[in-house]
């Protein structure tokens, strides 16, 4: 079975550029999460969707961050404009239903220079 | 606010030397406590879910236990391939807020041959 698929795996971009990270959740899962991982703060929940609807975006750090889920099999996390402090690993995760095990993708490693 | 504290931050053991990792949590009603393993450059990989105090789960050399305030991950006779960062996370009972997991910062475990 395919797990959560993220792209790109690695991205290096210049400050001020737009960054778009992509995620395909596990087929049949109806909740999707975006997390950010840094050495200082560990794993932080940015936003989560249930049935393609954003439920809680209180973890999104600034208006520069936005996320969409146009259908059950695709989500994007966009940073515009990007800043060096956005450098981190961004994980997408999905689950079948609330309270169940959450499965993670391999992450997108973002470096903003 | 839900909080998860893991200790120690790092642990170095000799192969075969058993030990335990600690996860202390504060949550407004626990729905579930999760243990994940994360290898360098990878996403967190699910290990266990515990739902109620007194519950135990085992998988190979790992055993997870749960009390009302903390969880332990016991590692018996570890092997070098058990080297990884072990993450603990909780999800609250009540709805309305994020259904995503709140993570601790992890314990970085190294097993020396």
| Residue of chain A nearest B44, judged by CA positions | A104
Q: Could you give the CA distance from residue A25 to residue A31 in angstroms, rounded to a whole number?
A: 9
| Residue of chain B nearest A94, judged by CA positions | B100
Consecutive H or E run containing B11 = strand B10-14
Per-position pLDDT tens, chain B of length 113: 788 999 999 999 999 999 999 999 998 888 889 999 999 999 999 999 999 999 999 999 999 999 999 999 999 999 999 999 999 999 887 654 446 788 999 999 999 99
- Residue A46: other Cβ atoms inside 10 A: 20
CA-to-CA dists, residue B101 to A61, B10, B87, B91, angstroms: 17, 22, 11, 5
Q: Could you give the CA distance from residue B44 to residue B87 in angstroms, rounded to a whole number?
A: 8
For residue A1, what pLDDT is reported? 63
DSSP-derived pairing of the beta strands B84-92 and A108-112? unpaired
Q: Chain B closest CA to A107's CA: distance in Å?
A: 6
* B85 inside 8 A of chain A by CB: no
Closest C-alpha to B80, from B6, B2, B13, B1: B13
* B91 inside 8 A of chain A by CB: yes
- The residue-averaged pLDDT of A80-89 equals 97
Q: Could you give the CA distance from residue A65 to residue A105 in angstroms, rounded to a whole number?
A: 20
Band (pLDDT 50/70/90 cuts) for residue A85 is very high
Under an 8 A CB cutoff, do A43 and B87 touch? yes
Q: Could you give the CA distance from residue A113 to residue A40 in angstroms, rounded to a whole number?
A: 19
| B44: nearest CB among A50, A99, A104 | A104
What's phi and psi for A84, nearest 5 deg? -55, -35
Beta bridge partners, B105, equal none
Q: Could you give the CA distance from residue A58 to residue B93 in angstroms, rounded to a whole number?
A: 19
- Full DSSP string of B78-90: --GGG-EEEEEEE
User: Is B102:B90 a contact under the CB 8 Å cutoff?
Assistant: yes
A1-34: pLDDT as tens digits: 689 999 999 999 999 999 999 999 999 999 999 9
A35-75: pLDDT as tens digits: 999 999 999 999 999 999 998 898 998 899 999 999 999 99
């Amino acid at each position: 079975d395919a797990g959560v698929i993220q792209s790109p795996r690695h991205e290096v971009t210049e400050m001020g550029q737009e960054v778009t990270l992509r995620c395909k959740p596990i087929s049949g899962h109806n909740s999707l999460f975006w997390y950010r991982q840094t050495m200082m703060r560990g794993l932080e929940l940015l936003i989560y969707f249930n049935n393609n609807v954003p439920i809680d975006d209180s973890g999104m750090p600034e208006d520069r961050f936005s996320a969409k889920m146009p259908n059950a099999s695709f989500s994007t996390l966009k940073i515009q404009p990007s800043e060096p402090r956005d450098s981190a690993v961004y994980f997408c995760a999905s689950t079948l239903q609330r309270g169940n095990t959450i499965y993670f993708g391999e992450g997108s490693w973002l470096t903003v220079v | 606010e839900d909080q998860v504290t893991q200790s120690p931050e790092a642990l170095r053991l000799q192969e075969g030397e058993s030990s335990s990792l600690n996860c202390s949590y504060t949550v407004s009603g626990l729905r579930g406590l999760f243990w994940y393993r994360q290898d360098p450059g990878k996403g967190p990989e699910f290990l266990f879910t515990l739902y109620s105090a007194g519950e135990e789960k085992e998988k190979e050399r790992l055993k997870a236990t749960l009390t009302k305030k903390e969880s332990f991950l016991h590692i018996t006779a570890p092997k070098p391939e058990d080297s990884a960062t072990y993450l603990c996370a909780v999800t609250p009972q009540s709805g309305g807020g994020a259904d995503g997991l709140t993570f601790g910062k992890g314990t970085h475990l190294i097993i020396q041959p």
